[in-house]
């Protein structure tokens, strides 16, 4: 039994931010039903679908990953009968998740105010670039736009280099993560009030949330931080360092950690009492790091990882994706899973990071073909007969 197996989520999302939020809920057990337009379905179905390296049986990597554990039903929401059918589904659902541009749910007549009249317990959640209020909520947005507005790009990369976005599309993914958090909070509140509510997630808001204590530091000091590469503005040594073969991370936070590191490395120039405390190390950051780099280059990354681990010093290799996905810890925690394609074949992808002791069953059903569960959903949730379903199909209401 999965944690959210008693919930029904209607997923109207497309591209990345919304589908990722829906995937998180689906992985945790919510029956997640994608409502897609007849014809080509939602936009993500087409991404990489014809790329021979990044697709399986005509389904691209985006759709394969983001839509596992989901079902698909095709409804024409611009059709009056289709809208009525959607209202029937909303009457049986717990959550409606979308990431349309602001104003689209109102235009389609599927916004919270309308759905709450049908189902007072319904929770709606919309992920957008800038939210649904404020003077600039209509700005168009994709991942890097959110990263740019959110300030994170200004502190990423090297000081003398152009602005650098995060390699992971954190603008989109954070919107999806916070949508799942918001939905779960609204579900908890519903247990007390008996009523649903609307959850408004802004990707820009999420980026501001993630700069966290650095924003507080700016408000306290009035100083605008810039990019400093992989080093730290407080701790030394805390950086990525070249070794004989690969890059190595060393992260010293405490004075005790420095003492252990200094003794393990045995670099004579660093055996100085003035480096025993953080202010002393920060004052001579360049000197310390130069000596460390010279020493580390003499041996391999694996050599240093072993020595640092013995000394209980926080460290890591800078893994590429191959090394990261094959790490023994990742393998042991089922963070690489195999998901089948509904028409045959299978693909490996990241698993579910939420590990639960009592309701943590981990299963990963194939992403759906377009409209694959239309008949099943209409029968199971709405009690439609075969003749009812055929009539809807003949009328073009469903695909």
Catalytic residue ranges: 232
Alpha-carbon distance of 134 to 130, in angstroms, equals 8
Alpha-carbon distance of 234 to 345, in angstroms, equals 50
Indicate the SS3 state at residue 360: strand
Residue indicated by tokens 């599309």: 169
Alpha-carbon distance of 128 to 105, in angstroms, equals 12
Torsion sign, CA atoms 23, 25, 28, 34:
negative
Give the Cβ contact number of residue 78 at 10 Å: 10
Distances (CA, A) of 220 to 152, 215, 223, 235: 18, 9, 8, 19
User: Do 308 and 250 touch, CB atoms closer than 8 A?
Assistant: yes
Q: Which of 154, 153, 204, 197 lies closest to 178, judged by CA?
A: 204
Backbone region of residue 134 per phi and psi (left: phi > 0; alpha: psi in -120 to 50; beta: other values)? left
Alpha-carbon distance of 75 to 282, in angstroms, equals 61
Phi, psi of 255 (to 5 degrees): -65, -35
Q: Which of 83, 99, 81 lies closest to 91, judged by CA?
A: 83
Alpha-carbon distance of 336 to 346, in angstroms, equals 13
Indicate the SS3 state at residue 128: strand
Cα end-to-end distance, the chain, whole Å? 32
Indicate the SS3 state at residue 399: coil
């Amino acid at each position: 039994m999965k944690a959210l197996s008693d919930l029904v989520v209607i997923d109207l999302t497309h591209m990345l931010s919304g589908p990722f939020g829906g995937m998180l809920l689906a992985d945790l057990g919510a029956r997640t039903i994608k409502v897609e337009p007849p014809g080509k379905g939602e936009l993500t179905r087409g991404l990489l679908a014809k790329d021979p390296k990044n697709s399986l049986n005509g389904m691209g990597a985006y759709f394969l990953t983001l839509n596992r554990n989901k079902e698909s039903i095709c409804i024409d929401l611009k059709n009056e009968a289709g809208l009525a059918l959607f209202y029937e589904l909303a009457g049986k659902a717990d959550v409606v998740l979308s990431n349309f541009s602001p104003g689209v749910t109102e235009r389609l007549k599927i916004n919270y105010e309308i759905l709450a009249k049908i189902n007072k317990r319904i929770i709606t959640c919309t992920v957008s670039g800038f939210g649904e209020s404020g003077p600039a909520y209509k700005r168009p947005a994709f991942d890097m736009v959110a990263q740019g507005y959110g300030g994170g790009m200004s502190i990423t990369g090297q000081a003398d280099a152009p602005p650098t976005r995060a390699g992971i599309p954190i603008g989109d993914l954070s919107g999806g993560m916070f949508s799942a958090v918001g939905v779960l909070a609204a579900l908890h509140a519903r247990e007390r009030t008996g009523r649903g509510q609307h959850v408004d997630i802004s990707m820009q808001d999420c980026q501001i949330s993630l700069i966290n204590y650095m924003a507080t530091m700016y408000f306290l000091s009035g100083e605008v931080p810039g990019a400093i590469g992989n080093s730290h503005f407080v701790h030394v040594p805390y950086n990525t360092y070249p070794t004989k073969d690969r890059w190595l991370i060393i992260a010293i936070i405490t004075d005790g950690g420095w003492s252990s590191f200094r003794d393990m490395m045995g670099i004579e120039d660093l055996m100085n009492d003035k480096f025993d405390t953080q202010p002393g190390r920060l004052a001579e950051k360049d000197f310390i790091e130069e000596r460390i780099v010279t020493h580390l280059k003499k041996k391999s990354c694996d050599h240093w990882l072993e020595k640092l681990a013995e000394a209980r010093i926080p460290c890591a290799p800078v893994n590429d994706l191959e090394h990261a996905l094959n790490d023994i810890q990742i393998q042991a925690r089922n963070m690489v899973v195999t998901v089948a394609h509904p028409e045959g074949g299978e693909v490996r992808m990241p698993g579910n990071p939420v590990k639960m002791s009592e309701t943590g069953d981990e299963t990963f059903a194939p992403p759906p073909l377009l409209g694959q569960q239309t008949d099943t959903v209409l029968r199971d949730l709405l009690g439609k007969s075969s003749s009812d379903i055929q009539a809807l199909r003949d009328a073009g209401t469903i695909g």
